[in-house]
A and B are shown apart, each in its own frame.
Chain A
Amino acid sequence: MKVYDVVIIGGGPAGLAAAVSAYDSGAESVLILERDDVLGGILNQCIHNGFGLTRFKESMTGPEYADRFIKEVRKRNIEVKLKTTVLDLCEDKTVTAINEREGVFFVRGKAVILAMGCRERSRGALNVAGTRVAGVYSAGTAQKYVNVKGFLPGKNVVILGSGDIGLIMARRMTLEGAKVHAVCEIMPHSSGLKRNIVQCLNDFDIPLYLNHTITRIDGDARVTGVQISKVDQNKKPILGSEFYIPCDTVLFSVGLIPENELSKNAGVELSPKTKGAVVYQNRETSISGIFACGNVLQVHDLVDFVSEEAELAGKSASEYARRGDREKDCVNCIAKDKITYVLPQKIDKNQSGNVTLFFRANGVYKNCRVVVENDGQEVLSLKKRVVVPGEMERVILTEKIIKALNGDLTLKIVE
């Protein structure tokens, strides 16, 4: 069985940046396993612009952003296996994979990086009533049809969920000649970026119905229409508020789920909040030598931050391949008041350097403070003009603070 310093599962934005970083940090043999026939992952179908503003200080399309990293990978002696699906990952870091040239084969990584990304939540996850008809797609599937395959999946569209992919698809399908009749959002606020409300909906006079959801999908073979209802503050449909929109296509843009089946099989501990691995600050999981980064670890807002996190995981994996496991002195990072989750969930005090804590608020809070506490004392406080659930926030702990920690630390928002 061939042994690599670092084996990376997934060749999307996380896998690419992790590979380059692992190689540049000294890993001598790096392998990327990718199930698609091209590198770049979801970026290939994200043809809109706005990527790279943080990292490259310019507005790039998804394929252009991917291209930068693919060229960096190609410049280095990094092995890539395309059209290769990973079937299993073991605790000893043996990877079982399959492709049409080699059949089923095994490789082992001294370190393994999980970079499998996300899957979309589907109609089934929401239990929307109605018939099981053609014409119901996840927004990302429709995006692949339009942008990669060159098919328009429908002419009259209703979109459920105001996530960014749904908003982007509202504009995209409009540009290609479809009529988008409505975007429905069950929450009182959009879960997408404000800029996408402006440039994807307002620019094309597409109505956004907040506090509304689809309560029935009609049709025989193909969708013929949807019933939309207003919801109360408990998100329950209000009887009598229904209205009907005839349409032939329904898109679901209702969230992403990290794709962690392989991680689970390996025995990696997952967080019920992030649905991704529980990690140390170097992105090492509960299994020594298995690392995770990108959307398989936590759903990011911006690909720029995926690349940043993947570089950290790549560097850590390369160090691990060289030096092996080291003893840890672990403290937990615990999310308290008004915070949904904190990542990393664990800090190893034996490691050097500052640590950035990433977190999401559980609601919209204005003029608040983010407070880090340890051993009953406030160790850090950060003023924020506004925090919203849709935007990941960060707070930096200096090495000095970390070395002085006594027991677990907590993070909370104080209004």
Chain B
Amino acid sequence: MKKVNLTCIECPIGCDITVEIDGEKVLSVQGNACQRGKLYVSNEVVCPVRVLTTTVKTQNGKMLPVKSNKPIKKADIFVAMEKINGVVAKTPIKIGERVIADIFDGVDIIACADVE
């Protein structure tokens, strides 16, 4: 059993959270102000994940802001970046539309803005 101190990144408050774990099993969570914090640290001690935000080129030359619609494994972030940077998005495109399907484990890269 060991204690891990983490800073929650779910919102700007940044709670200092202490997690007690036994291997991959979470025994207790303390210091979180909300349930998002509990979920965050429970993932963080086992397999840290992040929502990736970046940009892709579009056909009309403008940059399109995009994000992963679900968090992806931290370890996969640079692989994802390489894939995303190899793509040119078709235009016009609307906010929320898929730019890359299934980049990892059912995660899509989606548009965060409209581009004509």
Q: Mark B1-45, 1 if CB is under 8 A from A, else 0.
A: 000001111111010000000000000000000000000000000
B63 lies within 8 A of A150 (CB)? yes
B11 lies within 8 A of A50 (CB)? yes
Q: Mark A45-57, 1 if CB is under 8 A from B, else 0.
A: 0011110010000
Which of the listed residues A63, A176, A197, A302 has the most CB atoms from chain B within 10 Å of its own CB? A63
Q: Mark B79-114, 1 if CB is under 8 A from A, else 0.
A: 001000100000000010000000000000000111
Q: Mark A189-205, 1 if CB is under 8 A from B, else 0.
A: 00001110111000100
CB distance from B64 to the nearest CB of A (A): 9
Q: Does A59 contact B (CB under 8 A)?
A: yes
What's the count of A-B pairs with C-beta under 8 Å? 73
Q: Does A301 contact B (CB under 8 A)?
A: yes
User: Which of chain B's residues 37-95 have a Cβ closer than 8 Å to chain A?
Assistant: 50-51, 53-55, 57, 63, 65, 67, 74, 77-78, 81, 85, 95
Q: Does A404 contact B (CB under 8 A)?
A: no
Count the B residues whose beta carbon is within 8 Å of the partner chain — how many? 26
Q: Hey, which chain B residues are within 8 Å of A197, CB to CB?
A: 7
A195 lies within 8 A of B67 (CB)? no
Q: Does A148 contact B (CB under 8 A)?
A: yes
B67 lies within 8 A of A67 (CB)? no
A63 lies within 8 A of B112 (CB)? yes
Q: In the complex, what distance in Å separates the CA atom of A261 from the CA atom of B95?
A: 35
B55 lies within 8 A of A147 (CB)? yes
Q: In the complex, what distance in Å separates the CA atom of A61 from the CA atom of B68?
A: 11
Q: Mind listing 16 A-B residue pairs with CB under 8 Å?
A: A47-B55, A49-B51, A59-B11, A61-B67, A62-B65, A67-B114, A149-B63, A150-B55, A150-B57, A150-B63, A176-B81, A195-B12, A195-B14, A198-B6, A198-B9, A302-B12
A residues neighboring B (CB under 8 Å): 44, 47-50, 53, 59, 61-64, 67, 146-150, 175-176, 193-195, 197-199, 203, 301-302
6 tightest A-B contacts by CB? Answer: A194-B14, A195-B9, A47-B65, A63-B113, A150-B63, A61-B112
